[in-house]
Amino acid sequence: MTWDDLDAHLDRVPGTVSAYVGRLDTAPTWTRDPDATHYAASTMKVAVLTALHRAAEAGTLDLDAPVPVVNEFDSAQPGAPRFSCAQPYDNDDAVWDRVGGTAPLRWLADRMIVRSSNLATNVLIGHVGLPAVADVWARAGARHSVTGRGIEDFAAREAGITNLVTAADLAALLGALATGASTPGQLATPAACAAMLDVLLAQEHREDLAAGLPDGTRIAHKGGWVRGVRHGAGVVLPDDAPPYLIVVCTTTDLADGGPSGDEVEDDACRLIAHISAQVWEARHRL
């Protein structure tokens, strides 16, 4: 495979496919529309995770403190009524089982990533605030990504307040976490970055990027999906080559797995897995 071959294959895919591939702290080996904006879906949860750990390091919250698990949140649209999540569109009954009770922030953060819990995400945004998430994007060097609202904040959505990512910005965020785990960086201490990578390594949704890798390959990653959108963003840690970043964002009719909560493998998943497999084969040449 050559990168031109991969581009030619993707030229035939309906919609927009963006990608970023490269080793850490170097220029990318291959990109495709890396600055095209896509609806973020659940990939924005990595920025929420980072904001949470930054707040913990600043001493403004305790990751192990229990907090109320609620399902009513302030809208990002001024004057709009508070909103709630719908359980059928979530991916983690364990968080819903805690509604009306409490759970530690650290546990909620884990569920937000490994099971992509929307409810946990909104609870955490309520504690860290959207400005802190915006600060994470800025510190990572992101240029176009925005986390403007919580999940299922329909009043904000109708007002044009949205969540956007690009492949390049997701690579910048994950790259900063990966390099920050060994060298003090712009996002958090090495210990905090390593802890966040451990959460991403424990990802249970493995039907896109991870599906293109040999069994047992370590990948710290987060995907995102709603109907018409499917993304995968990760740091692959081969045993026989340096770590590398791979981000694939798709806005395409191939992503027909269903609304935001449906855990369905679709053609967009298979496309992302195919790209991941091709990059894996080229890992020594990145």
Q: Tell me: the pLDDT tens digits for 162-198? A: 999 999 999 999 999 999 998 888 899 999 999 999 9
H or E segment to which residue 41 belongs: none
Tell me the angle at which helices 3-11 and 267-281 cross, rounded to the nearest 10 degrees.
Answer: 170
102 burial type by CB count under 10 A (0-12 exposed, 13-18 middle, 19+ buried): exposed
CA 281/CA 210 separation, integer angstroms: 14
Quickly state the pLDDT bin for 264 (edges 50, 70, 90).
Answer: low
- The structure tokens 């040999």 sit at 214
pLDDT of 256 higher than 90: no
Each residue's pLDDT tens digit, 68-118: 999 999 999 999 999 999 887 787 999 999 999 999 999 999 999 999 999
Q: Burial of 272 by CB count in 10 Å (0-12 exposed, 13-18 middle, 19+ buried)?
A: buried
**pLDDT tens digits along 115-128:** 999 999 999 999 99
| Mean per-residue pLDDT of the chain | 95
Half-sphere exposure of 181 (CA within 13 A, CB side): 18
What stretches of the chain show up as alpha helix (H) in DSSP?
A: 3-11, 45-58, 93-96, 105-114, 118-128, 130-140, 154-158, 167-180, 190-201, 267-281
pLDDT of 23-70, one tens digit each? 998 999 999 999 999 999 999 999 999 999 999 999 999 999 999 999
CB 234 within 8 A of CB 219: yes
Domain ranges of the chain: 3-285
**Separation CA 258–CA 244 (nearest Å):** 30
From the list 65, 185, 204, the residue with the least C-alpha distance to 127 is: 65
Token match 């690579």: residue? Answer: 171
Confidence of residue 257 (pLDDT cuts 50, 70, 90): low
- For β-strands 38-39 and 66-68, DSSP reports them as unpaired
Once rounded to an integer, what is the mean pLDDT over residues 250-259? 80
Predicted local distance difference test score (pLDDT) of residue 260: 45
Quick one: which of 21, 39, 41 has its CA closest to 31?
A: 21
Q: Which CATH number fits domain 3-285: 3.30.365.10, 3.40.710.10, 3.30.1360.70, 1.10.760.10?
A: 3.40.710.10
What is the four-CA torsion angle of 93, 162, 179, 249, rounded to 10 degrees? Answer: 80
Q: Is the pLDDT of residue 261 over 50?
A: no
Task: For tokens 């569920």, name the residue.
Answer: 111
Q: What was the pLDDT predicted at 87? A: 82
pLDDT at 263 over 60: no
Please state the rounded mean pLDDT for residues 213-219: 97
Flag whether the pTM goes above 0.75. Answer: yes
72 or 266: which leads in pLDDT? 72
